[in-house]
Amino acid sequence: MVKSPNQVFFCPEESQFYAQCLEKMVLSQSHTTDPIVEFGAGDGSPVIRALLNSSFEGVVQGFELNFEASQLAKLRIEQYGLGAYYQIHNACFFSNAPANARYLIANPPYLPAPDNQLYMPSLHGGDDGALVTKQLLAQGCEQVMLMISAYSNPVDTVDFALQQGYEVADFMVTPLKFGYYSCEPKVRDSIAKLKCKRQAFFSERIYFLAGVLFRQKSAATVCLSEEFLKVMTAL
Ligand SMILES: C[S@@+](CC[C@H](N)C(=O)[O-])C[C@H]1O[C@@H](n2cnc3c(N)ncnc32)[C@H](O)[C@@H]1O
C-alpha cells in the first residue's frame, strides 16, 4: 500500500514527537487499565511506538476517518502483535467514540484556513486551527493529551480548556520546521494573519509543537498553564 500525503497523514517528525508524548505523559504514567480513546489514529505508528516502549496493559481504541490510514494501522498492529492493546475503528470519532471515555489522546487537525480545500482536507482545524482541539476538550473526559501548535491560537485554546474545568498537568514542547502541509500557501496566509492578531507564534522557519496533558481540576495537583504559555508564545 502506497502512503500518499493526501490520504494518509505523513509527517514523521510530528508523529514521532506525538509518540514520545504518549509514552512519557500517558502510557508510562497510567497505573490503570482504563481504556483510552484516540481521535485520528492515522497509520497507527505513534501509539504502536509508545506501546512498544511502555508496559501499559490497557486498551487504546483508535478512531480514524480515512480508510487507507485505518487499514495501514490495522496491518501494523497485527505485524507487531499488539491486537490486544490497540484497536482501530474506521469511523468518525465524534459520532462513534464511547460517551463514557475518561482518557482521550489526539494529534488533531490544526491547520488554520478559511475552508478545507487543502492538500489533506481532514487536517483542517477551522479559521484559527483550534476548532477540533476545542471540540475534543468539550467531550468531558477526565484527562486529555493533545498536540497543540503555537500557530493555532494556543492562548485561546488554553483559556477554553480552563473554562471547561481543566488544568495543564504536564507538557512537552519541540521546535518543528514548517513542512508539506503547513507550507501550503493558503495555510501560510492564514497563519500570517493570525500572527498579526497575536493568535499565532512562530519564526520564519520554525514553530513550536506541544503535547499537553489536560486534567480536570479536581484530579490535578499542579497547574502549569502559565509556564506552558510562556514557552509557546516565545517566538
Ligand atoms: C494530524 S493527523 C494525526 C495522525 C496520527 N495520529 C499521527 O500523529 O501520525 C489527524 C488524523 O485525524 C483524522 N481525522 C480527522 N477527522 C477525524 C474524525 N472526525 N474522526 C476520526 N479521525 C479523524 C485524519 O484523517 C488524520 O489521520
Q: Which residue has the higher pLDDT, 137 or 224?
A: 137
Helix (H, G, I), strand (E, B) or coil at 227: helix
- 103 is written with which cell numbers? 482518557
Q: Which residue has the cell 480508510?
A: 67
Q: Grade residue 30 by pLDDT with cuts at 50, 70 and 90.
A: low
> In this structure, is residue 4 part of a structural domain?
yes
Task: State the Rg of the chain over Cα.
Answer: 17
Count of structural domains, the chain: 1
Cα 214 from Cα 220, distance rounded (Å):
9
Instruction: Indicate whether 127 pLDDT > 90.
Output: yes
Q: Is the CB of 50 under 6 A from ligand 1?
A: no
CA of 16 to the centre of ligand 1 (A): 15
For the residues 118-133, what does the mean pLDDT come to?
A: 97
> In this structure, is residue 117 part of a structural domain?
no
Mean per-residue pLDDT of the chain: 93
Range of the domain at 100: 1-107
> In this structure, is residue 96 part of a structural domain?
yes
Cα 229 from Cα 10, distance rounded (Å):
28
| pLDDT value of residue 56 | 92
Chain mean position to CA 147:
4
Instruction: Indicate whether 5 pLDDT > 70.
Output: no
For the residues 33-44, what does the mean pLDDT come to?
A: 93
Q: Is the CB of 97 under 6 A from ligand 1?
A: no
CA of 45 to the centre of ligand 1 (A): 12
| pLDDT value of residue 214 | 96
| pLDDT value of residue 139 | 96
Ligand 1 pocket mutation pick from 111, 123, 147, 149 by most atoms within 8 angstroms of CB: 123
| pLDDT value of residue 217 | 86
Q: Which residue, by CA, sits nearest to atom 14 of ligand 1?
A: 40
Q: Grade residue 129 by pLDDT with cuts at 50, 70 and 90.
A: very high
> In this structure, is residue 186 part of a structural domain?
no
CATH number, domain of 52, equals 3.40.50.150
> In this structure, is residue 52 part of a structural domain?
yes
Give per-residue pLDDT as tens, 74-93.
999 999 999 999 999 999 99
> In this structure, is residue 1 part of a structural domain?
yes
> In this structure, is residue 47 part of a structural domain?
yes
Instruction: Indicate whether 3 pLDDT > 90.
Output: no
Would you tell me how many other CB atoms lie within 10 Å of the CB of residue 117?
10
Q: Grade residue 100 by pLDDT with cuts at 50, 70 and 90.
A: confident
Q: Which residue, by CA, sits nearest to atom 18 of ligand 1?
A: 92
The whole model's pTM is what? 0.93
Give per-residue pLDDT as tens, 188-203.
999 999 999 999 999 9
> In this structure, is residue 53 part of a structural domain?
yes
Instruction: Indicate whether 1 pLDDT > 50.
Output: no
